[in-house]
Amino acid sequence: MERGKFQIGTWVNMLRNPASMTMFKETGIDFVRLDMEHSGPSIETIADFAAMGRALDLPVMVRPPEANREWITRLLDLGIFNILCPQVDTPEQAAEIIAASRYTPRGSRGMGGATPGNDFDVSMPVLDRLKFTNDQVFITVLFESAQAFEHLDDIASMDGIDSLSIGPQDLAQDLGVFGTPDQDRVLDEKRAEILAATKKHGKTCSMMATSAAQTHQLRDDGVLIVNYSSDVNMLIDGYKAALSELRG
């Protein structure tokens, strides 16, 4: 992120074997994003992916079922430094996320001992270790409602919120345009609002994409992190294309 490198990742909704991380590494992908809100990996599975990701230097991002203290604490202590926080509607929610994700003086994250989150290494002087760990955390918040956009500037300006994005389907549903001819236009307008807020407040813009053309457009607009497709969609599309050709 500090080098301003454009990064492409993908959702992992179905794969449960952390050995798949070696496959993702070989493809050249920049990160994987595990979804706990809409799929069923256990906390043990997340822990295994976190350990493998750290060993391979392949970042793992997780969307928890809810962005609260319980989930944030557990994920960080497992070594998941990149958290995608769903349904962030108010500055108060964002402040709770910041407090849970950073140690003092930036927050009030629960103190742990030697954990996967610090590679079981507590040799660094404690205050230096807390600062170092705080600096590794990367928090992205999802704007998924009209209410959230009422507080866009307030949330975007908060120290400890690193990246902004939208949850396109939930947002379209809340705005009343899901499945209508206006959906794409309205979502593009909301993406533009997010991008403008990140530029104004010096934050990173992260978006989801479903096509190469959309990915290129987001990159050209200044989006630095794009989550492209998913393991499920790539498998379905790949098999359908292959079977169509094989069956002639």
**In this predicted structure, what is the pLDDT of residue 36?**
98
Residue-level pLDDT at 2? 82
pLDDT at position 112: 87
Return the pLDDT at 220. Answer: 97
- The CATH number that domain 7-247 falls under is 3.20.20.60
Residue 202 backbone phi and psi in degrees, to 5: 70, 35
Which pLDDT score is estimated for 45?
98
**3-state SS string over the chain?**
CCCCCCEEEEEECCCCCCCHHHHHHHHCCCEEEEECCCCCCCHHHHHHHHHHHHHHCCCEEEECCCCCHHHHHHHHHCCCCEEEECCCCCHHHHHHHHHHHCCCCCCCCCCCCCCHHHCCCCCCCHHHHHHHHHHHCEEEEEECCHHHHHCHHHHHCCCCCCEEEECHHHHHHHHCCCCCCCHHHHHHHHHHHHHHHHHHHCCEEEEEECCHHHHHHHHHHCCCEEEEEEHHHHHHHHHHHHHHHHHC
For residue 18, the model assigns a pLDDT of 97
Predicted confidence at residue 238, as pLDDT, reads 97
Given 38, 151, 201, 216, which residue is catalytic? Answer: 38
pLDDT averaged per 10 residues, the chain (length 248): 92 97 98 97 98 97 97 97 98 98 96 91 94 96 98 98 98 98 98 98 98 97 98 97 96
38 is catalytic: yes
